[in-house]
Amino acid sequence: MHPFAYVAPGTVDEAVAVLDKHGDRARPLAGGTDLLVKARANAWELDAVVDIKNIPELMTLTVGNDGLTIGAGVPCYQVYENEEVASDYPCIVDGTAIIGGIQIQSRAGLGGNLCNAAPSADGICPLIVHSAVAHIAGPGGSRDVAVEDFCTGPSQTVLKNGELLVSISMPRPPSNFGAAYTRFIPRNEMDIAVAGVGVSVILDSSGQNFVSARIALASVGPTPILASAAGNSLAGKPINDDTIAAAAALATDASTPITDMRGTIAQRKQLINVLTGRMINQAVERARG
């Protein structure tokens, strides 16, 4: 591991200044569960790590009428142990409660999961189906990016040198909204998704028809994928096995998996098909309350 300096600024501006100074030889340190592994494996050679956990707005979770905002350094357990998040955003709990084991969840958070930009990230699909937005600070000011546009490739994001993810926010779910995320892994925890699917739906007041839906896929492309055609196919349709199967087939079409040590193309396509159906049903169940 290349020896790096440790900086722990107290404000976003200070953090941005340090990141800007070092360019791609500095990285923000939130939970460290990806960063320190990559630094130790010499995948990243860093001159400085910028611990963002002393910056209040990066460590704050707010939930209320305006929706949910999660600071970029908030660890998973603070998300899934929050009672309001658990009751109103169960899909966010689905994602945060399965990242690593308990030890990892004490440190790792959605901000780091997003910035790490693994195609298999369990935290990103739930954000996408909740229409979450990433708030970014940088030397040139602030900007917002939809989460589905945040990752640009494996370990690649829209963040430019000097930019820092500050928080992620999502609107308060409307009534008749439901969302769910699951993944397939060979073990029961401590594993990387072979394939993952997040689904959100809004139902009409009868609870029998889809108004709209969003479907996001993990581990079947270079980034988490918003499967728009699959989600849109459900809009205005009745809830039944046929419409769900059709959406699952479209989601499968949207996936572009590779064969690697974690699974084959055929296995991953099959999993997307199966998990999409299961998650639509679970999202519907949650929407119906």
Partner 1 sequence: MVATFEPKTDYKVIGTRPIRHDGYDKVTGRAIYGGDLTLPGLIWGVCVRSPHAHANIKSIDTSAAEAMDGVLAVITGADMPEALDKLVDLGEGNVNFKWASNKLMADDKVVYRGHPVAAVAAVDRYTAEEAARKVVVEYEVLKAVTNVTDALAPDAPIVLPDLVGDDLGEDVTNTNMAEHVRHEFGDVEGAMASAAHTIEREYNMQMVHQGYIEPHNATAVWDEEDRIKIWTSTQGAFAARTQIAGILQVDVSKVKVTPLEIGGGFGGKIPVYFEPIAAILSRKSRRPVKMVMERVAIFETTGPTPGGRMIIKLGADSNGKLTAATADIWFEAGANPGSVIGPAAMCVYAPYEIPNTRIDGWDVVVNKPKTAAYRAPGSPQVAFAMESAVEELCEEAGWDSMQFRIDNVSREGTRRGDGVLFSKIGMEEVLEAAKNSDHWNAPLGDPPLGKKRGRGMASGYWFNIGLKSSVNLAVNSDGTVTLVEGSPDIGGTRVAMAMHVAEVLGIGAHDVRPSVVDTELVGYTDVTGGSRTTYATGYACWIAANQLVDELKKRVGILWDINEEDIDFSDGIFNSKAESEKTIGFKELAGKLADLGGPATSIGNVDLESAGDGFGLHIVDIDIDTETGKTDVVRFTAIQDVGTAIHPSYVEGQLQGGAVQGIGWALNEEYYMEEDGSMANSSFLDYRMPTSLDLPPIDTILVEVPNPLHPYGVRGVGETPICPPIPAIANAIANAIGTRLYNTPMNAGSIMEALS
Partner 2 sequence: MTTSSPGMVHVKTTINGQAHELLVPPYMSLLDTLRELIGLTGTKEGCLDGNCGACTVSVDGRIVDSCLVLGAEVDGKDVDTVEGMASADGLHPLQQAFLEEAALQCGICTPGFLVAAKGLLDNEPSPSEGRIRHWLAGNLCRCTGYDKIIRAVQKASS
In the complex, which residues of this chain contact partner 1 (CB under 8 A)?
1-3, 41-42, 101, 184, 186-192, 194, 260-264, 266-267, 270-271, 274-275
CB of 286 to partner 2, least distance (A): 22
- Interface residue with partner 2 among 102, 229, 235, 266 (CB under 8 A) is 102
* Residue 132: CB atoms within 10 Å: 24
Task: Give the one residue of 107, 262, 268, 269 binding partner 2; rule: CB under 8 A.
Answer: 107
Positive or negative CA dihedral for 284, 172, 160, 32?
Answer: negative
In angstroms, the CA 226 to CA 71 distance is 23
Q: Which two tokens stand for residue 50?
A: 């910028």
Residue among 115, 122, 118, 120 nearest 150 (CA):
115
**The tokens of 120 are what?**
């298999």
* Distance between CA atoms of residues 217 and 220, nearest Å: 7
Q: Which of 106, 131, 209, 281 binds partner 2 (CB under 8 A)?
A: 106
Which tokens hold the place of 88? 């109103």
For residue 36, the partner it binds in partner 2, partner 1, none, with Cβ less than 5 to 8 A by kind, is: partner 2
Q: How far apart are CA 9 and CA 121, in angstroms?
A: 27
C-beta of 20 vs 51, nearer to partner 2: 51
Site string for partner 2, 174-193 (x = CB under 8 A): --------------xxx---
265 binds, among partner 2, partner 1, none (CB under 5 to 8 A by kind): none
Q: Which stretch binds partner 2 (CB under 8 A): 47-55, 58-66, 172-180, 253-261?
A: 47-55
Which partner, partner 2, partner 1, none, binds residue 86 by CB below 5 to 8 Å per kind? none
For residue 270, with 0-12 CB atoms within 10 Å meaning exposed, 13-18 middle and 19 or more buried, which class applies? middle
Amino acid at 133: V
Q: Give which of partner 1, partner 2, none residue 49 binds (C-beta under 5 to 8 Å, depending on kind).
A: partner 2
8 Å CB contact between 110 and 76:
yes
Per CB under 8 A, 206 contacts partner 2: no
Site for partner 2 in 7-46 (CB under 8 A): 8, 29, 31-33, 36-37, 39-41
- CB-wise, 3 or 141, nearer to partner 1? 3
Residue among 251, 214, 254, 253 nearest 235 (CA)? 214
**Structural contact between residues 28 and 165, judged by C-beta atoms closer than 8 angstroms:** yes
For partner 2, give the closer residue by CB, 103 or 240.
103
Residues that bind partner 2 (CB under 8 A): 1-6, 8, 29, 31-33, 36-37, 39-41, 47-49, 51, 53, 77, 100-104, 106-107, 188-190
